[in-house]
Amino acid sequence: MKIKFGTSGWRGIIADDFTFKNVRTVAQAIAEHLKERKETKHGIIVGRDPRFMSERFAAVVAEVLAGNGIKVYMPENPVPTPVISFTILDMPLDGGINITASHNPPEYCGIKFNPSSAGPALPNVTRSMEEKIQKVLDEEIEIKSKSLREAAAEGLFEIIDPFPKYYEKLKKTIDFERIKSAGLTIVADLMYSAAIGYLDKIVKELAAEYEIIHDFRDPYFGGGRPEPDESRLRIIMDMVKNRKWQAGIAVDGDADRFGVVDDTGDYIKPNEVIALLAEHLYKNKGFEGPVARSVATSHAVDVVARYYKEDVMETPVGFKFLGPLLMQNGAAIAGEESGGLSIQMHTPEKDGILSDLLILEMIAYEGKLLSEIRKDFEEKYGKFYNTRLDISLESSRDKEELMEKFRHIGNEFAELKVSKRDEIDGVRYIFDDPDTWMLARPSGTEPLIRVYMESRDSHKFRKLVGEVRKVVSK
């Protein structure tokens, strides 16, 4: 079989393609990549989310790394992806591996590799590892392994607790005292995730009243995807509304994505959250620097940047492209519509825990309900209408045929004139109104096309959605 890295690592179905044999193959390829680049001096952190058998898969990875003479630092309990990123920079280390399939369904597992830069691996790195994976499969490279007992005796394996230093980093980034003094009432959905032992501890410290749900291990994630979208957050939406509490917050399976509910029980789309937090960082915390977003992300954050006389940087989809802009280009905030963001001087990896705490901090700074903050934003900047349609198809051939339709829509679409067309990631059309746009982007791993649309004009937005549905149904 072919093992291929997607937007954020390699993922597969447990016991089908995500097997111990294939995990050892990928681990050996990562070891070869590190040895080739002579990045083995400081060691690697190996973590996991709470998925089925994740502790054993993590141990297998650690055994292979140790067998290649690379020291492994392993947290005893599941660990969020952003904590792995932070630890790489803090110790510092040569990289990190997390056994996680993020927000994928429970039958999936995965391997996510972050190099010494601490952000997600860029395409040149994943290509290098894919080449080495093939050499392992072709038996050109031998898999080496060492028991963890033996590795520990040789100083190649060590159990660590990354929480204390990550907590101290958050305290320097977020105004904990201001949040405490605001007397907030919060519901937190931990989604059975790697945030257990992290976000729950912090919420208990900061909130005047709190309810924490799904804060125990369930490898089935309650019977669905551990994704903090509107459908999965219905429980805390109702809790916040019925109890008249101030906010609901959530994370995904590896805690690198956020979910937010306002005081009325209304789910706030990630696109809006990113723009709200950009306003908060510039207005309340005096941040300077551009905003960074993917091509699939709302332009709402653009208008905030322009108001504060800052630039906008745009990348293909994937935080691997956004992370470097935080560290090297001084971006104040980087975000993407799928629910990931990080900020200046934090880590080059999306962080759902940080994002949730920034929401609480914003409420505390403003001294207003979250619904009122949203209303103020709309009065200042206007309203943005946006959506994403996920179009599942029968085969890769069907996917390519539909993409061809989107690639050749002509100079007018939905009675809107096309002013610009690009293929930064998929195919995007910007219309004569620059805040009205459409992006069709194929999935790299499944027969699926995602179509993103946005406008500040409700009529144009409805026309755009309707015309896309016609293209899909033909």
The answer to whether 445 and 300 are in contact (CB under 8 A) is no
Each residue of 400-435: pLDDT tens digit? 999 999 999 989 999 999 999 999 999 999 999 888
CATH topology for 166-381 is: Alpha-D-Glucose-1,6-Bisphosphate; Chain A, domain 3 (3.40.120)
Say what the pLDDT of residue 474 is. 75
**Rounded-to-integer distance, Cα 298 and Cα 295, Å:** 8
Q: Please, which pLDDT band fits residue 4 given cuts at 50, 70 and 90? A: confident
Residue 179 is which amino acid?
I
Each residue of 225-274: pLDDT tens digit? 999 999 999 999 999 999 999 999 999 999 999 999 999 999 999 999 99
**Rounded-to-integer distance, Cα 22 and Cα 3, Å:** 8
Q: Is the pLDDT of residue 445 over 70?
A: no
Say what the pLDDT of residue 443 is. 83
Residue 195 is which amino acid?
A
Q: How far apart are the first and last CA of the chain?
A: 34
Q: Please, which pLDDT band fits residue 7 given cuts at 50, 70 and 90? A: low
Instruction: Tokens 């905003």: give the residue.
Output: 291
What backbone phi and psi angles, to 5 degrees, belong to 114? Answer: -115, 125
What backbone phi and psi angles, to 5 degrees, belong to 419? Answer: -105, -20
Percentage of residues in the chain with pLDDT exceeding 70? 99
Say what the pLDDT of residue 5 is. 81
What tokens were used for 111? 């391997």
**Rounded-to-integer distance, Cα 76 and Cα 89, Å:** 20
Domain segments of the chain as ranges: 10-161, 166-381, 385-473
Each residue of 433-443: pLDDT tens digit? 888 999 999 98
Each residue of 153-166: pLDDT tens digit? 999 999 999 999 99
Mean pLDDT of the chain: 96
Domain 385-473 classified CATH 3.30.310.50?
yes
Q: Is the pLDDT of residue 124 over 80?
A: yes
Count CB neighbours of 1 within 10 A: 10
Each residue of 41-72: pLDDT tens digit? 999 999 999 999 999 999 999 999 999 999 99
306 class by beta-carbon count within 10 Å (0-12 exposed, 13-18 middle, 19+ buried): middle
Same CATH fold assignment for domains 10-161 and 166-381: yes
pTM score above 0.75: yes
Say what the pLDDT of residue 329 is. 95
Each residue of 273-296: pLDDT tens digit? 999 999 999 999 999 999 999 999
Say what the pLDDT of residue 114 is. 96
What is the CATH architecture assignment of 10-161?
3-Layer(aba) Sandwich (3.40)
The answer to whether 260 and 345 are in contact (CB under 8 A) is no
The answer to whether 21 and 143 are in contact (CB under 8 A) is no
Closest residue by Cα to residue 415 from 397, 439, 431: 431
